[in-house]
Structure 1
Amino acid sequence: MKPEKNLRILMVEDDKSVAEMMDMFIKKEGWTMDVATDGDQAVKMFAKNPDQYDLITLDLNLPKKDGIQVAKEVCAISPTIPIIMLTARSSEAEQILGLGVGADDYVSKPFSPLALIARIKALQRRIMIEDNQSKAISDKRDETFDVETQHMKISKKRREVLFDNKEVDYITPKEFNLLYTMAQKPKQVFSRGQLLESVWGYDYFGEERTVDAHIKKLRQKLEKVGANVIQTVWGVGYKFDDSQV
C-alpha cells in the first residue's frame, strides 16, 4: 500500500448515491477513487492494471457477478490486494463466506463514511506494520519459532503454525494474526474490541461479527489437526489455552 495521501481505491458499488457520497470523503483525504457498478466491470477494471489499486471496497450484492465471485477472481489476480466488503446482509454465514474468499474486513450498511475512512486507514497501517515486522525478522534463522506453547509452534516469518508438529493449512493472514495475538499470552482473555484493535488496527465500533466470523473459520482449520485451543469466554471474548489438550 502507498502512503495514505496517494491511495487509489476501486469502489465496487451499484448504488449511485453511496458511491457519490464516498467519492466526496475520499477526495477530502487526497485519495483517488474509481467506481465499478457491477461485478463484471469490477473484474475487468482490476485485471487491466492491478498494480494501480491499493484497496478495494466491494459490495456483496451486485448485478452480473456478486461480491463473492468478484473477490475470488480479484484475489486470483492479486492475492495481497486489501478488500473491505460493504453489504446490507448481516448473517454470520454470509460474513464467513466473504471473509473466507479473501476479504480483510466487513462493514455492514448503513455505515458512516467517516467510519469507513477510519477502517481504510487502519487497514493501511496494519499492512505497513506487518511489512515492517517481516523485514525486521528476516535475519532470523528459518527453523526458529516466534511463539512456542505446550503443543503449538508459530513462525511469523514463515506464517507457519504447527500443532504437535502437524502443520495447520490454509490459514488466512487475519486468522494467523488472531492466533498469534492470543497464543503470545496463553489463558489471557481478549475481548472482541481488543482483538479488533490489535489485529485490524481500529477501536471497537460494534462490528463484533468480524471477529466472530474469523474465529469460527480459524477453529475449523485448527480442529482438523485436533487443536481445540481457542475457547469462548461467554460475555467477554476469547482465549488461547492448549494446556488441557
Structure 2
Amino acid sequence: MRILLVEDEEDLATAIQAVLQRQGHVVDHCADGLVGWTLLSGELARYDLAIVDWMLPGLSGPELCRRARGSGLTLPLLLLTARAQTSDRVEGLDAGADDYLSKPFAIEELLARLRALQRRHPGYREPLLEAGRYRLDPAKGQLLVSTSIGVVSVDLSVKEQQLMAYFLEHPDQIIPGSRLRNQLWDLHQDPVSNVVAAQVRLLRRKLAGQGLPSPIETVPSKGYRFHPQLPPEA
C-alpha cells in the first residue's frame, strides 16, 4: 500500500515508517496536520490508507479526518492518540476515522489493525501477483518464473518486489517512469532522479543472473512495458 503517516513524534514516526517499509509499503511522512491534509487531498499521490496522530500542529487529527470525509475521500483512516477515554474514541470515530489506537501500542497491533482496515475497506482486493509466466510470492520475497525446464525462483529485494508487483498488476501496458516513481518512492525523492531506471536495471541484472531474459521493455520517451508471456528462456 501507499500510506500517509502524519505524526509529529519523531522517534515514533521513524519506527513506524521503518516497520511499514520493511513490510513492503511505500510511506510518506509529515509532522504537520495541515501539510498532511495538503498531501492527502493533492493530485501527486493517491493513498491507500492514512495513519494520523490526534495532537498535531497546523490541524488536529480529527479535523483532518473531517476534511477528508467532507471532501469525499473514502480511504481508511487510523487515529493514533494518548487520549484513551470513551468520549475521545467516540469523537475520533465520529470525525470520520475508521479505527482508533491508543498510545503506547505494540507495533504488531498496529500492523494487525492496518490489515483489518484493508480487509474491511470497500475498495480492498487481493493484489494481483501473477501474470503469464511470472508469479510473485511476497511471503518469501521471490519471483517464480515458469520455464520449459521448470520453475526458476529469483530472490528479490523489497523495492524489487514493489516494482515487480506493479508490473504484474499492469501487464502489457506502457507505464511512464514518472508514475512508477510517484507510486513506489516517497514524495521527497528528487523528481528528476533516475531511481526508476536504476531499479529496472538491477531487476534485469538479477533475472540475467538466473539465465532469464528481461520481460520489461523500455519504450523510448514513454516508459516501460511488462510482457508476461515473453518466453523466459534465453
What's the TM-score, normalizing by structure 2?
0.50
1:78 maps to which of 52, 72, 75: 72
- Over the matched positions of the two proteins, sequence identity in percent amounts to 34
Change (3 A) 1:31 1:97: same
Amino acid at match of 2:83: R
Residue in 2 aligned with 1:20?
A: 14
- What is the rounded CA distance, in whole Å, between the counterparts of 2:66 and 2:122 in structure 1? 24
Shift of 1:88: 0.4
- What is the rounded CA distance, in whole Å, between the counterparts of 2:91 and 2:57 in structure 1? 18
SS at match of 1:20: helix
2:55 maps to which of 45, 56, 61: 61
Shift of 1:81: 1.4
1:99 maps to which of 93, 104, 111: 93
Structure 2, unmatched stretches of 5+, are 127-234
Shift of 1:78: 3.3
Shift of 1:75: 1.7
- Structure number with greater Rg is 2
- What is the rounded CA distance, in whole Å, between the counterparts of 1:70 and 1:122 in structure 2? 22
Residue in 2 aligned with 1:43?
A: 37
Amino acid at match of 2:31: T
- What is the rounded CA distance, in whole Å, between the counterparts of 2:77 and 2:123 in structure 1? 17
Q: Which runs of structure 2 are paired with 1:218-229 in the superposition (5 Å)?
A: none
Amino acid at match of 1:27: Q
- What is the rounded CA distance, in whole Å, between the counterparts of 2:9 and 2:124 in structure 1? 34
CA contact (8 A) 1:68 1:98 kept: yes
Amino acid at match of 1:94: D
Change (3 A) 1:78 1:29: farther
| Cα RMSD for the two superposed structures | 2.1
Change (3 A) 1:51 1:129: closer
Shift of 1:113: 1.1
Q: Deviations over 1:168-217 (max 9, x none)?
A: xxxxxxxxxxxxxxxxxxxxxxxxxxxxxxxxxxxxxxxxxxxxxxxxxx
Q: Deviations over 1:107-137 (max 9, x none)?
A: 00011112101110111112259889xxxxx
More divergent stretch after superposition (7-16 vs 65-74): 65-74
SS at match of 1:11: strand
Residue in 2 aligned with 1:31?
A: 25
Q: Deviations over 1:12-37 (max 9, x none)?
A: 10001011001111011100111121
Residue in 2 aligned with 1:154?
A: none
Residue in 1 aligned with 2:109?
A: 115
Structure 1, unmatched stretches of 5+, are 1-6, 133-245
- What is the rounded CA distance, in whole Å, between the counterparts of 1:93 and 1:41 in structure 2? 27
Shift of 1:76: 2.0
Amino acid at match of 2:86: E
Amino acid at match of 1:48: G
What's the TM-score, normalizing by structure 1?
0.48
SS at match of 1:9: strand
Amino acid at match of 1:24: A
SS at match of 1:58: strand
Amino acid at match of 2:29: V
CA contact (8 A) 2:39 2:45 kept: no
Equivalenced residue count is 126
